[in-house]
Amino acid sequence: MSAQRLKEKLALGGTVYGTLIQNTISPALVNAIPAGTLDFVIVSDEHTAFDIGDFLPMRYAFASKGIACLARTHSRSPDGVAKVCDTYDGVVVPYVEDVEECQELAAAAVYRPLKGAALDKVLAEGQWPTKATRDYVENRNKNTIFVPMIESVQAVENLDKICAIPGVAAVFVGPNDMTVNMGIPDAYDHQDFIAILQRIIDTANAQHVAAGCWFGNVAQATRTIEQGARFVVFSNDGVLFRNAISEAFAEVKRD
């Protein structure tokens, strides 16, 4: 679906489904995706050798299929966030836990190109340079999607305030970083991790913000959906390819 429709569906309490793209930059892959499968994708230059610009051909291929394309940026600077949002449908920012920092990052996404003292005045006092500037900025960024990643216990403690920041459309849990931070690395079935996901989902939903967590395992993904996750990011291109080829050749080689 388009970025506009994705943002509207999230705001109305709907559930959206996507995956991570981080192992390929070939737009030809997009033609292999069955219609109606994905609402969105997140292309990622984190944990890969690619740069975010390498995914641009895919971004336009996804647009031709009506699939919103967000970008998970390695940069956590306001300038880096604004640069991504100038090209992609939105941005996913890793490891956000400080409320003031999140406000600055969200503002870089949804108030661009306003900067400096003028932006500070809008954030602090709601005072715009002119009505024309306000109308321009709001219209330009009305479909921009800003998603901070919640990957630490401190971020959970600050989540109520993070979700109240204008521009936050969803929050997204990185399970590896979160479990490491909790002292239970990669224990995705640990009761403490399941409990903190429930807390995140409930806190976000109370603010009318969608929440979700990446999983490559169907049982873990569906469990989190049953907990109330609405921003569903399942698997990635590498895992999906591995699973598909394993299943196909298991059939071919079956005695």
Segments making up each domain of the chain, as ranges? 3-252
Check pLDDT > 90 for residue 18: yes
Check pLDDT > 80 for residue 209: yes
Which pLDDT does position 60 carry in this prediction? 95
The encoded tokens of residue 121 equal 């005045």
Q: How confident is the model at residue 1 (pLDDT cuts 50, 70, 90)?
A: confident
In terms of phi and psi (left: phi > 0; alpha: psi -120 to 50; beta: otherwise), the region of 196 is alpha
* pTM for the full predicted model: 0.93
Any idea which of 62-66, 75-79, 175-179 has the lowest mean pLDDT? 75-79
Which pLDDT does position 65 carry in this prediction? 94
Q: Are 81 and 108 in contact (CB under 8 A)?
A: yes
Q: In terms of Cα–Cα distance, which of 156, 160, 158 is closest to 177?
A: 156
Mean pLDDT of 230-235: 96
Q: What does the pLDDT look like over 67-78, one tens digit per residue?
A: 999 999 888 899
Task: Compute the chain's Rg from CA coordinates.
Answer: 18
Query: How many angstroms separate the CA atoms of 61 and 42, rounded?
Result: 13
Within 10 angstroms of residue 74's Cβ, the number of other Cβ atoms is: 14
The encoded tokens of residue 244 equal 């598909």
Query: How many angstroms separate the CA atoms of 199 and 180, rounded?
Result: 18
Distances (CA, A) of 255 to 25, 199, 242, 245: 37, 48, 21, 18
Compute CA 254 distance to the chain's CA centroid, rounded to the nearest angstrom. 40
Q: What does the pLDDT look like over 120-147, one tens digit per residue?
A: 999 889 899 999 999 999 999 999 999 9
Which pLDDT does position 79 carry in this prediction? 92
Q: How confident is the model at residue 255 (pLDDT cuts 50, 70, 90)?
A: low
Distances (CA, A) of 55 to 26, 43, 160: 8, 7, 33
The DSSP symbol for 87 reads: T
Question: Is domain 3-252 classified as CATH 1.10.3720.10?
Answer: no
Exposure class string for 117-143: b at 16+ Cβ within 10 A, else e: eebeebbeeeebeeeeebeebeeebeb
Identify the three-state secondary structure at position 214: strand
Query: How many angstroms separate the CA atoms of 199 and 201, rounded?
Result: 6
Identify the three-state secondary structure at position 16: strand
* Average pLDDT for the chain: 94
